[in-house]
Amino acid sequence: MQKVYPDASAALEGLVFDGMTVLAGGFGLCGIPEHLIAALRDSGVKGITVVSNNCGVDDFGLGLLLQTRQIKKMVSSYVGENAEFERQYLSGELELEFNPQGTLAERLRAGGAGIPAFYTKTGFGTLVAEGKETREFDGQSYVMETAIRGDLSIVKAWQGDAMGNLVYKKTARNFNPMVAAAGKVCVAEVEELVEVGSIDPDQVHTPGIFVDRIVHGAHYEKRIERLTTRPKNG
C-alpha cells in the first residue's frame, strides 16, 4: 500500500467533510501537526469537532481553525493560551467539553484499544461527573468515562518510514500515540522520512498498522508557547 503523499493537502484529499470529528496530536505547541492543520484550514471544512489537549494559540496551531470559524466544538484539557478561544466560548459561538488531562489521554487510548468505557476516580464529586454513571469499587467511588473515537487522526512525529512506523521525540509522545490509534483514518506528518527498515523495531512508538497516510514536512516553526527568560545579573 502506498502511504506516502507529496504534501499535506494531498494527504487529506477525500478524508474531510463538514461536521466530522478530528483528533489532533500535540501537547501545547510541541508535536503538533502544523502542516496538516494548515491543510484542514485551506480545505474549508466546517462545523468540525476537534479533540486535542489544547487549542494552540491565536495565530498558530489549532488557533488557525478558530480564526476561520471552522471549529464548532472543542474537547480539551487546557485552553488558557488562546484569547480567541475565550472570546468565542464566552459569546456562545464555540462549544467546549472539558476533560481532566489524564482522563482525556485515557479516553483516547481506550478508543484505540477498542475499550468502550472505563472507571476513574478523577472528577468524582465534581462538575466533571455530572450526568455520568458512578460506581463503587473496594470502598472507593469512581466515575465512568467513555472512549473517544474520531473520523480522522492527525499526528506529527520526528521520524517515520514509508510503512507509517513513527518515532516521536520527548513531549510529543504525550498525546500523539493515543491520537494515532483512535481515529478511523490516521494521517501523519514527519520531520524525517527514512527508509523502511532503518528504524529499530524496539524504538517504534506508533506501528505502521495504525497509519494510513504519511507526508514529509519540509519546515517546522516549533514555536515556544510561553517564553520565560532569566533577568540579567547586575
End-to-end, the C-alpha distance of the chain in Å comes to 62
Q: Do the domain assignments include residue 221?
A: no
Condensed to tens digits (0 to 9), the pLDDT of residues 31-62 reads 999 999 999 999 999 999 999 999 988 889 99
Which amino acid does the sequence have at 185? V
Tell me whether residue 58 is in a domain. yes
pLDDT at position 1 over 90: no
Domains of the chain: total: 1
Specify the pLDDT at position 228. 79
pLDDT of residue 229: 82
What is the structure's pLDDT at 234? 55
Angle at 77 between CA 75 and CA 81, to 5 degrees: 105
pLDDT of residue 98: 92
Q: Cell numbers at residue 77, please? A: 484539557
Q: What would the 3-class secondary structure string for 130-150 be?
A: CCCCEEEECCEEEEEEECCCE
Which pLDDT tens digit goes with each residue over 104-139? 999 999 999 999 999 999 999 999 999 999 999 999
Q: What backbone phi and psi angles, to 5 degrees, belong to 84?
A: -70, -35
Nearest to 209 by CA among 188, 233, 231: 188
Region for 139 from its dihedrals, namely left if φ exceeds 0, alpha if ψ lies in -120 to 50, beta otherwise: left
> Of the candidates 186, 193, 188, which has an alpha carbon nearest to the alpha carbon of residue 159?
193
Q: How much is the pLDDT for 233?
A: 74
Give the pLDDT of residue 214: 98
Task: List, for residues 147-203, the tens digit of each pLDDT value.
Answer: 999 999 999 999 999 999 999 999 999 999 999 999 999 999 999 999 999 999 999
Q: 69-105 pLDDT, tens per residue?
A: 999 999 999 887 788 999 999 999 999 999 999 999 9
User: pLDDT tens-digit profile of 205-232?
Assistant: 999 999 999 999 888 877 777 777 888 7
Q: Is 192 a domain residue?
A: yes
Query: Is 230 a member of any domain?
Result: no
> Is 16 contained in some domain?
yes
For 88, the domain range is 4-216
For residue 84, the domain's CATH number is: 3.40.1080.10
